Structure 1
Amino acid sequence: MYKRRNRVVITGMGVLAPNGTGLEAFWQSILDGRSGIGPITLFDTTGYKSRIAGEVKGFNVLDYIPRSEKPRRLARNTQMAFAATRDALADAQLDLGAERDSPANPVPVVLGVGTSAMDILQVGFDSLRDHGPTSIKPFAVGACAPQAAASFVGKMLGVPTRAFTLSSTCVGGLDAIATAATLIRTGESDIAIAGGADAPITPLAIASFTTAGLSSIRNNDPARASRPFDRNRDSGVISEGAAVLVLENLDHAIARGAKPYLEMTGYGSQSDPDPDAPGGGLENTMSAALANADCLPADIDYICAYGPGHPIFDEIELSMIKRVFGKHAASVPISSIKGVTGNPLAAAGPMQLVSSALSLTHNLIPPTANCEDLDDGCDLDVVMAKSRRVKLNRILINVRGLGGGSCSLIVERLSR
């Protein structure tokens, strides 16, 4: 997909997820298999078939954005995108003002979104219905734009930025990170901010996902509703959140004394080539990522699977892993973090990347929460009840989305 030039590393991470805000809380809940799924509180779910989701708890936008910026006019996904960005920059110990201030060389801000400003749209629909067209607020136009999150983050960084958005459903966040990595690899930038943010827990969105069979109806047991690869799964669970990362040219990171989490070495992104044979795109993206990283299936120590807990999507992913990995498929540990995070759409891939970075740091493969009885025909090494300590050097991350889009990313322990 691209010729290797500059080496790209991750030096900072920020995450707001249903199972925890901040790296420590996020990681510990994943290791413990402690779910962030619960009853929906953001709106009245009376009459809804699915009444559960993964909400980010205790989020107060004023903890991150001053009142003078009128943060409550922003969509929830924009609020969380900036919060995650601020945490990522702090984690990277990066002062952008001291690093880059030339308008001719702006810092890329690349964010993926899936549903964008669903909360602002919902308020607008309700206001239009109840009070007529003059009730719509003038700020709604900008707040609803898919570009709003990236634009606001770029504005608040205090340095020249180049902000843009990718929307490729659940694939968008990882596509955004790969796009930012390409800008660094080709020498256009030394630093980039990238990730994903979505906040789809609104009446219209949840009703739509439920009607499409994409939201679990295990309402009486929400903590155990998201069950990747489990025989008794009924669907995934929709969630919200944001994960943003600081990417750097390795030489730049070393020069400023940063401590990278990992190196990004291979990526592939593709839609299914044949709609009647779903999963072909994922097969090709895994193969492309391996080729770009110049490694073989036997070199992968762990697969951080998309694994949304959907009866069909889980099965497709496992079958594509078998095709690509062949005789090595049964020996590669696999797990999904969606048993605790739910499916935060475009934030899913970035959250998996954060989890994988922490896996490399601690040499731990997290368990697949709520996977208690493997699905019929699953003969792969799914890590189930508890975390597994393994020496990790390379991890493959998979993400799929509605419409057949897929992406795969290979990350490695940094070797100088």
Structure 2
Amino acid sequence: MKKRRVVVTGLGVVAPNAIGVPDFLEAIRMGKSGLKYVPDFERLKYLCHVTGRPPFEWESLREIIPEVTFHGLRGMGIGFGLRAAVDAWQDAGLPLETETPRWDTGIVFGNSTADSALMQNVMRRVDALEVKKLGSRVVEETMNSGVTAYITGRLGLAGKIVTNSAACATGSQAILMGYEYISSGLADRMVTGSTEFVDTYIFGAFDAMRVLSRRFNQEPEKASRPMSRTAGGFVPSSGAGALILEDMDTALQRGARIYAELKGGATNSGGQRGGGSMTAPNAEGVVRCIREALRISETGPETIDLVAGHLTATLGDLAEIQNWSLALDRKDADFPWVNSLKGMIGHCLSAAGSIESVAAVLQIAHQFVHPNVNLEEPNPEIVKRIDASRIPTASTPAVINTVAKANFGFGDVNTCLIFAKWK
């Protein structure tokens, strides 16, 4: 069977620097930071006192979910995901209400862990012999598939229903899985994306690894510094992103606006061998993943206009640039534009790939490259390999026809997507 073309018809985003596509577009154009100092982190004696949390108002959920669902609902990850997914659905021009199941539409929506604050409440109640006080909804709010279940119920989705989890590659992998269902004819439409809520306890676990930024606690907007000589670790953040993917013919028949085409992608693992580990990718696995994404999408490496990197402001940035250069066989001034959203919003972990994919699609739709913030002094080893002019520090108008978007997660998991201007 001939592979069907897949297009992006709706976007939704809950990011540390903006909520909703119009505000998010303006924020990434302007290089607006969403990172803030958290006094409680200093009180808890964490090394990093900075995080990115969306300017999210819980009451805003009343606008999109029935009162019976809203009442008693807890769990910020579920709230972020619901907001992003429903916004994307409406952005795609699709009716919110339905009396019958939508058999042609499914969902792949990922996250990493259940809300640990809710789990703490469960443990406290159980230990106090007060299990009856937990309420009847605690399981649905703490199960890993809770966010997917809530989105499915709100939109009446009845196709493939999947919750995925692959650490920092979760969001990109969810989008790829949605693409594969549509391109192979198993669905006409998929809601794809991911969510993350980094509460105090999750943040503390990362802080214990001693890999977080700590030099800019008093200047939080400067804390995340991808590709910089002064990069000192990443900043864990929260949020959600969602993309509505559709079979191109289905989208055209209903007169949908098309943001971009998702040409294909690939996911793999380096097997935690050959230099790969739980926390570091095997370079060969990364290169293979990028090249396989190019092959599947029938995209020549010379046509990539922008690399929307993972680039976390750690020692891994240099290795990532080296891997991109090898996979694309491009270097110096021939290297594509490259940027990292993490300078503005930090690292949204399982939501990183979906939020960054929204940014990638917007750069295609509006023909610009968003700035790399906090890059006053690029890593000298990086600019030995690619020309500094390819790493813009200001919003730059550009012809962007094809974007390679990749994420690399704990467990040595890699995912690369190829987005293109729709023709």
Q: Provide TM-score, normalisation by structure 2.
A: 0.90
Aligned-residue offset at 1:314: 1.1
1:313 is matched with: 316
What secondary structure does 1:78 align onto?
helix
Determine the C-alpha separation between the residues in 2 that align with 1:189 and 1:122: 39
Determine the C-alpha separation between the residues in 2 that align with 1:127 and 1:35: 39
1:182 to 177, 180, 183: 180
2:412 is matched with: 404
Determine the C-alpha separation between the residues in 2 that align with 1:234 and 1:281: 25
2:44 is matched with: 46
The alignment status of 1:394 with 2:402, answered yes or no, reads yes
Structure 1 residues 327 and 243 mapped into 2: Cα distance closer, same or farther (>3 Å)?
A: closer
2:285 to 281, 302, 311: 281
% of aligned pairs identical? Answer: 25
Within a 5 Å distance, the mapping from 1:59-208 to structure 2 comes to 59-60=57-58, 61-95=61-95, 101=100, 105-127=103-125, 131-132=128-129, 134=131, 136-200=134-198, 202-208=199-205
Determine the C-alpha separation between the residues in 2 that align with 1:205 and 1:180: 28
- Does the CA-based 8 Å contact 2:49-2:217 persist in structure 1? yes
The alignment status of 1:337 with 2:336, answered yes or no, reads no
Aligned-residue offset at 1:81: 0.8
Q: Which amino acid aligns with 2:80?
A: M
2:279 is matched with: none
Map Cα deviations across residues 354-404 of structure 1 (whole Å, 9 max, x no partner).
111111111101111111111121122442320121111111001111121
Q: Which amino acid aligns with 2:285?
A: G
Aligned-residue offset at 1:188: 1.3
Aligned-residue offset at 1:246: 0.8
Determine the C-alpha separation between the residues in 2 that align with 1:408 and 1:215: 25
Q: Which amino acid aligns with 1:259?
A: R
Determine the C-alpha separation between the residues in 1 that align with 2:123 and 2:319: 37
- Does the CA-based 8 Å contact 2:291-2:328 persist in structure 1? no
Determine the C-alpha separation between the residues in 2 that align with 1:71 and 1:181: 34
2:264 is matched with: 266
What secondary structure does 1:166 align onto?
coil
Within a 5 Å distance, the mapping from 1:245-264 to structure 2 comes to 245-264=243-262
2:294 is matched with: 290
Aligned length: 408
Aligned-residue offset at 1:216: 1.7
Aligned-residue offset at 1:63: 4.2
2:213 is matched with: 216
Q: Which amino acid aligns with 2:307?
A: I
Structure 1 residues 162 and 324 mapped into 2: Cα distance closer, same or farther (>3 Å)?
A: closer
The alignment status of 1:304 with 2:301, answered yes or no, reads no
The alignment status of 1:413 with 2:421, answered yes or no, reads yes
2:325 to 322, 327, 351: 322
Q: Which amino acid aligns with 2:210?
A: G
Map Cα deviations across residues 225-279 of structure 1 (whole Å, 9 max, x no partner).
0000001111111110111111100000000000110111120111124252433
Map Cα deviations across residues 156-203 of structure 1 (whole Å, 9 max, x no partner).
113535422000001111111111111111111111111010102x22
- Does the CA-based 8 Å contact 1:96-1:159 persist in structure 2? no
- Does the CA-based 8 Å contact 1:198-1:240 persist in structure 2? yes
Aligned-residue offset at 1:127: 4.8
Structure 1 segments unaligned to the other structure (5+ residues):
none
Determine the C-alpha separation between the residues in 2 that align with 1:133 and 1:235: 42
What secondary structure does 1:318 align onto?
helix
Determine the C-alpha separation between the residues in 1 that align with 2:380 and 2:303: 28
Q: Which amino acid aligns with 2:275?
A: D
Structure 1 residues 408 and 48 mapped into 2: Cα distance closer, same or farther (>3 Å)?
A: same
Flag as ranges the 4+ runs of structure 1 deviating above 4 A: 41-45, 100-103, 125-129, 135-138
What secondary structure does 1:15 align onto?
strand
Structure 1 vs Structure 2 CA RMSD: 2.2
- Does the CA-based 8 Å contact 2:6-2:247 persist in structure 1? yes
Determine the C-alpha separation between the residues in 2 that align with 1:86 and 1:102: 16
- Does the CA-based 8 Å contact 2:65-2:154 persist in structure 1? no
What secondary structure does 2:27 align onto?
helix
Structure 1 residues 269 and 37 mapped into 2: Cα distance closer, same or farther (>3 Å)?
A: same
- Does the CA-based 8 Å contact 1:35-1:341 persist in structure 2? yes
Q: Which amino acid aligns with 1:56?
A: P
Determine the C-alpha separation between the residues in 2 that align with 1:209 and 1:72: 30
- Does the CA-based 8 Å contact 2:171-2:350 persist in structure 1? yes
Q: Which amino acid aligns with 1:308?
A: T
What secondary structure does 1:377 align onto?
helix
What secondary structure does 1:73 align onto?
coil
Map Cα deviations across residues 194-215 of structure 1 (whole Å, 9 max, x no partner).
1010102x22211110111343
Map Cα deviations across residues 126-151 of structure 1 (whole Å, 9 max, x no partner).
5556x456354443222111111101
Map Cα deviations across residues 90-117 of structure 1 (whole Å, 9 max, x no partner).
111112667x9467x3521110112332
